[in-house]
Structure formats: C-alpha cells, structure tokens
C-alpha cells in the first residue's frame, strides 16, 4: 500500500489502459498483417503500410476468416524520398486521431512494420557516422510509440523477428528485428508484447498448421502480458478485444 504524504505529489497506481498498445512479432508469413484485420465486421482499422503487404486483405484465407473486417483504410509509403516525410507519414495519422479524439471511429491503428520502417529510415538518413542515424531512429520511434499511447484507439506495431545473443543473459533470445537501442527504448512502452508463430498440430495426415499468439514471457522470447491474454490458438484481434474490454480501465 502506498502511504499518504504531506510533502509529495503522489497518486495511486494507474489502471490498465482502456486502449492497448501492442508490439507483435513474427516471421514473414506468420500472419501478422492478417491478424491486424480481424477486428470483426462492425469495427474499423487503419493500416500504416510500410511493407506493402495489405494485398492479403483480398486473399481467400482472409475473406473466409469469420472475424475479418471489411472496413480497412490503408496509408501507403510507396513515394517516400526522405526521412522527414517517412516520419511525418506515420505521425500525421496518429496526430489526427489524437486531435479529433478518433472521430472516424477506428478500433485499431497499426504500423506494419517497425522492421521495414527502420530499414527505410536508415537508408534515407544522411550522416557521417552511422551511430547518428541509429540515434535519430531511436528518437523518432520513441516519439511515434508515445503518440500511439495517447490515441483513443488500440494500436499495434508489427515487426519481423531475429535471434540474437544477449550479452547480459548470456543466451540466445528472439526479439523484434530492430536495433537493440530502439528495442530497449520502445519495448517498455508496450502494454503487450506478443509473438505470432505457426505450429503443426496432430499426427500424420491429420496434422494441420495453426497460428499461435503467445504473449507470455520466457527466457528465449521476452513477451509481456499486462492484460492476461494468454496463449491463443488461431487468434483474431477480437479475442484480444474481449480480454481488454474486461480488464482495461477497470
């Protein structure tokens, strides 16, 4: 229990946020972009598509998903020629959602993906020392994720995965494929860090491939699960919404 103080400006621990800010990692083809569009028929999604992968929303597997939404808006990044424009293209819709208090009614705004954003940023950033580019990238993404936390909607940042040797833990860990400096800064800002994987279930001819969403923390995959979502097989974002609705802001 936190005691009262006569001389300090103190408060009680914060409630879980009503709107979750999530980092979602997975290898190419794991279904990250598909997952972003599974908010249900009655909801609306905005995708900031740095990878150009939203063609998946016209695929048969997506259209046959009972939780898919038909109302998906996309902002593309095909014509980016400099770092300032790249950052502005992400910040502007987040600013719009914040300033209008999400008047367009987006349930989810997603950046797909952090990995591609980093690659474009570093290729466009002009600096004599590459460390300056990584510093500027870290500062830009920190500001972007902070804005996402202020938006009156759920937000997701996807990323590809990379196995690296952690010198502190002295073991191999799987983390988002962004620079260690970037990850150390933004990972603490997420309410949920989850990993999307493909797994084989069953034996022989009856075996089938399923998607598995895992936000649990392990020595190899450092997840985060403030809402208690747990491991979900064949997940949709509607599954996550139900948990957040039960626990968020209470």
Supply the pTM of this predicted model. Answer: 0.89
Distances in Å between the Cα of 114 and the Cα atoms of 32, 110, 127, 140, 165 are: 12, 10, 21, 12, 21
Joined together, the tokens standing for residue 26 give: 């997975």
Per-residue model confidence (pLDDT) at position 250: 47
- Please write the tens of the pLDDT for every residue from 155-185: 999 999 988 777 666 778 888 999 989 998 9
- Nearest of 150, 174, 197 to residue 31 by alpha carbon: 197
Across the chain, what does the average pLDDT equal? Answer: 89
The CATH class of 21-247 is alpha beta
DSSP 21: E
| Helices H / strands E in the chain, number of each | 7, 11
| Cα 142 to Cα 72: distance, rounded to the nearest angstrom | 26
CA distance 19 to 149: 8
């Amino acid at each position: 229990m936190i005691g009262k103080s006569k001389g300090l400006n103190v408060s009680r621990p914060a409630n879980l946020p009503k709107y979750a800010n999530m980092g979602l990692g997975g290898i190419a083809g794991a279904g990250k972009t598909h997952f972003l569009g599974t908010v249900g028929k009655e909801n609306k999604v905005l995708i900031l598509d740095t990878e150009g992968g939203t063609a998946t929303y016209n695929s048969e597997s997506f259209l046959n998903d009972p939780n898919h939404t038909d109302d998906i808006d996309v902002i593309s990044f095909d014509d980016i020629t400099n770092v300032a424009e790249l950052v502005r293209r992400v910040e502007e819709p987040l600013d719009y959602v914040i300033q209008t208090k999400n008047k367009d009614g987006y349930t989810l705004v997603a950046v797909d993906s952090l990995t591609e954003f980093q690659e474009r940023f570093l290729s466009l950033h002009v600096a004599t020392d590459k460390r300056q580019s990584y510093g500027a990238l870290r500062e830009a993404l920190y500001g972007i994720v902070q804005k996402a936390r202020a938006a009156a909607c759920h937000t997701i940042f996807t990323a590809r995965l990379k196995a690296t040797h952690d010198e502190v833990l002295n073991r191999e860990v799987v983390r988002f494929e962004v620079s260690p400096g970037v990850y150390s800064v933004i990972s603490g800002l997420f309410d949920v860090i989850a990993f999307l994987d493909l797994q084989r279930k069953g034996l022989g001819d009856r075996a089938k491939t399923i998607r598995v969403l895992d936000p649990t923390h392990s020595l190899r995959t450092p997840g985060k699960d403030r809402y208690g979502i747990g491991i979900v097989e064949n997940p949709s974002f509607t599954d996550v919404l139900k948990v957040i609705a039960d626990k968020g802001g209470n």
